[in-house]
Chain A
Amino acid sequence: MSVETIETAETTEVRPGDETPVLEVTDLTVTFRGLNGNPDVHAVRGVGYSVRRGEVLGIVGESGSGKSVSSMAAMGLLPDHAVITGSVKLHGEEILGLDDRAMAARRGKVISMVFQDPLSGLTPVYTVGDQLAEAVLVHNPRLPKEQARKRAVHLLDLVGIPNPEGRYRSFPHEFSGGMRQRVMIAMAMANDPDVIICDEPTTALDVTIQAQILDLLRTAREETGAAIVMITHDLGVVAGFVDRVLVMYAGRPVEMGGVDEIYYGSRMPYTMGLLGAVPRMDLERQGALVPIKGTPPSLSDLPPGCPFAPRCPIVRPECSLAEPDLLPVGGQPSAETIEEVHGHTDDTSATGVRDTGVQRVACIRSGEIADRGWTAQDIYPVPDIPEVPVADVRREDRAEMLRVEGLTKHHPLTKGAVFKRRVGTVYAVDGIDFDIREGETLALVGESGCGKSTTLMEIMGLERPQAGSITVMGHDTASLGKTDRFALRRDMQIVFQDPMSSLDPRMPVFDIIAEPLRTHRFSQADTTRRVYELIELVGLNPEHATRFPSEFSGGQRQRIGIARALALEPKLLVLDEPVSALDVSIQAGVVNLLEELQARLGLSYLFVAHDLSVVRHIADRVAVMYLGRIVEIGDTESVYTKPAHPYTQALLSAIPIPDPERERARTHIVLDGDLPSPANPPSGCRFRTRCQKFITLSEPEQERCMSVEPSLDATNGGDQAAACHFAERQRVL
């Protein structure tokens, strides 16, 4: 293995002429020609940036802002019908317009990419090791096979795959999502590239795995000295990881600068809005989030002028005359000049967009924003969210909406086609207890596979559980008759995660919202009246009623889903990750809507999420789940400020905060490995295999963790309880 280490050492050596940027993109535009008379889609309209060795550039934007397309264009990975202009220089050499063969020699060698979806990134029929070795061999055809194999094993070791020799022969499906992403990164690092483009590398992963991958990317940068272009929608991920940030909107960069400049001194209303829209896990009382009204414009039919103008709270008439260029703060032409120029010529094409290294903003009021020191809260109208009416009543005195005791759901694992025999059990939910009071929000958090969705399905099913009991508003589900169950459904409704699949695509909005009303036999007149009332309530237009779900954006669709859930005036609303599929600016609107509805209608929420920032914002109490068990439960404030269970501590620590200074100062607890299989949970404490505390314990103490399953015990004499033998309240934020 010494051969490989020497090899890496050689390539990390500083090359002469380090001053030329490794990757320089200038005035890049990408247009997809419309077919059958459809208008052209201008996906990227003038992007410019440059990255030097070892530098990390973050490209931030919402879905459809052109951030992925621009990097695919740089890699030469776009289909032929895309028209690309501008310039992409790799080590000063123009690579745009090179043919596929010439590009193939550079791809993976000089410039490589990590994709979002580690599922589809690997070929399922080859072993992971062979695919890695192939990545090495492709660029070094004369390398002996044995050498390539060794290098592949070394790479697997480097990205933290345990037992790399053995895992070499594993197939991709035997790896978890996080491990596959590690292999993808190993592949990207295989030939010591100079630039690694990461396209949302952690979006599909859980927070604790995200922390591992971000750590790994840092290692990759140190190992190879490569420049990294990090494309993401998550402002938290970028804060602690990148040096400079490029914010994109509607296919154009709207703000660019050092990470601190952007986070603390943003001068573009869009960036300010984005930062204001992120729920913060580290702030105690954040108040209402800043919603950006409207939706991003269609890229095929852009109005003249600033593309953000229709959503901008401080828009001026001259904003819609010409699109502002990316200029230093305060360097924008005055309103008069714009009008003058606009009067003379219609030429909107700017001088080439290139990276100059200082903070630049595409907003004509940037100077003004800087002078007055405006923040998002100053320019955006923040909705006033009233207090929950029952907030004054003590929790114990409020009516109980839902009580779950010892809820269990085990799936049998069977083998054989004709005679099925049981070979094991998946302990999806394994005895959990919680209750929800009137007007309260309980959040159920945990990583994927921890059983939170199964819990929801069990509760919503209103059937007798395998073990334990579910009591909804005083009715035990085990003793419910058919008519009682039907009647009880009126009082509890659900909002799903994916607004794409939660609405029947063949039904117009009116029928979707009317369905619960018709099912519960409302008269036609009442149904009609109530549907329009609901459409109004969630902030949609009455003329939307005849449209189909596909004609709406994600946020609007989620509003339709909420309207449907509210139709029967339920008392308990179950929210299954209601905002995780939405963009930040849209998410803020939906979160505010949920809070407002709770206050106005006195609803109780059972909120399931993996995003702990949103949970902190919306929940009164929080329950953390791990492998089918609740490991910690308590009021949000206690759990967030002083978590007692090591898993909660690790979860909270793993979440990046959109605040560069605090983020850099934090030390993350990075958990080892993946979630164990729920079919074969560890003995004793289920978390002990990944526990950061376990390894610090003495032998008899460890013995206790391995043999005795901890029970959920109160830790602060109040509401907070944790299932750990050695629970210790600690501040991690």
Chain B
Amino acid sequence: MKTRAESPAVVYTLLALGLSYFAVFMLLPLVVIFVSAFKNGVGPYVAALLNPDARSAIWLTLLVSAVAVPLNLVFGVAASWAITKFDFWGKNLLITLIDLPVSVSPVISGMVFVLLFGAQGLIGPWLAEHHLKLIFAVPGIILATMFVTFPYVAREVIPVMKAQGSDEEEAALTLGASGWQTFWRITLPKIKWGLLYGVILCNARAMGEFGAVSVVSGHIRGRTNTLPLHVEILYNEYDFVGAFAAASVLAFLALVTLVIKTVIESRSPELQSNRLKKH
């Protein structure tokens, strides 16, 4: 069969459209962030990041994702495993619930935690009696972040597991492997790229989450302010260089995430061939 080549006009129009869309919606905001951050030179930029409140916001953001992402990794894999390898009552409900944090507005997610663990909430008074502080403290921020980022790992892993089926696992089990052995030697290697991709998405969202965290944070400077909240505070204080400096750190973390993703993809022939097959 003869393939029909598109006329050059169509090709260039599409290219121009695509590229200008990219420039306006992706590149320009990124450039604006860095230009605004360095508006008064390198000195004020560095000073804005060395400020104790900024440093604490950076630490807190890293801490939150360092706790939330591994936990979601474990839970996400467990949930995907349960869903794809077993049949049980309520499975469809579980699948629906996993997606809940994506469909619910983050502000509502935050409110739910306040209503549960706040001083006037369901479990709040009990927590207060035992001197446990969740809301308006770091644990609450981690909880809210975990809730919001929970689906990312499971959503990436479930389709991969489904596509691969469980024939190899069943074979391993018949040959006498234990459950753990099967998981580590058979399942994990099969899903690792999907898993890694899920972790990267999960991490990106964890570091950038604003809405849910804003509700449970209490906005105490130097204590419960994450980077996105810190950006808002500085912006509202007319400290635009500081705000954009903090924003540039977030943007930088996002770029690093992207680079890691690209490097991983290029290192794995398996993933590349997968990708090609998909498209």
Physical interaction between A and B:
no
Interface set of B (CB-CB < 8 Å, partner A): none
